[in-house]
Amino acid sequence: MSNDFQSRLLYQQKASAVISEEEPVTVSSSIYAIRYMYPGATQHTTSRIRITCTYRDSGQFEAHSGVIERWSDKGWLLMDDYTDSVLAFDSEEEFRTRMLDYTQSFVLGIPLVAIDKNYLPDTFERKKVVSVPKNISTHKNKKIIMIQNHQKITTMMTMMI
């Protein structure tokens, strides 16, 4: 299985907006030049990829959505979109890197676990303690514990200490 995939960030755009008096939501659009070679091919294939990430980053990074698109003569075509865990990343860079790994996995037909050693398939569980958001009661004896499966948040409970 060939793993000949290269990418170069060409440029990035960002904008933030406050929605419903909550913490700001940021939209980041990154354009990459990619180059790859299919097994048995004699020349590289080149393309342009746009990765769009929507997230909140106010103490706890929350990945809300991600979209991967490929440029063609018909305009931007959807390749994949992110539907995994909201709390899987600690930064926008980690989120974008995973989306680029998804691109490589999709284009070359290589399982994601072979590309990203930090990827945990949905058979593993992770736990994260999340700080109390500003819009929830900030009583000092409460904390929110989120128990998350890599595919979705499985349980959320408020506990009294």
Please give the pLDDT value at position 121. 65
Q: Please, which pLDDT band fits residue 122 given cuts at 50, 70 and 90?
A: low
Q: Say how many C-beta atoms besides its own lie within 10 A of residue 70's C-beta.
A: 17
Mean pLDDT score of the chain, rounded to an integer?
Answer: 76
Confidence (pLDDT) at 57: 84
pLDDT at 115 over 50: yes
**To 10 degrees, the CA torsion angle through 157, 126, 63, 158?**
10
Q: Where are the domains of the chain?
A: 5-119
Report whether 146 contacts 122 (CB < 8 A).
Answer: no
| pLDDT per residue as tens digits for the range 58-106 | 788 888 899 999 999 999 999 999 887 777 788 999 999 999 999 999 9
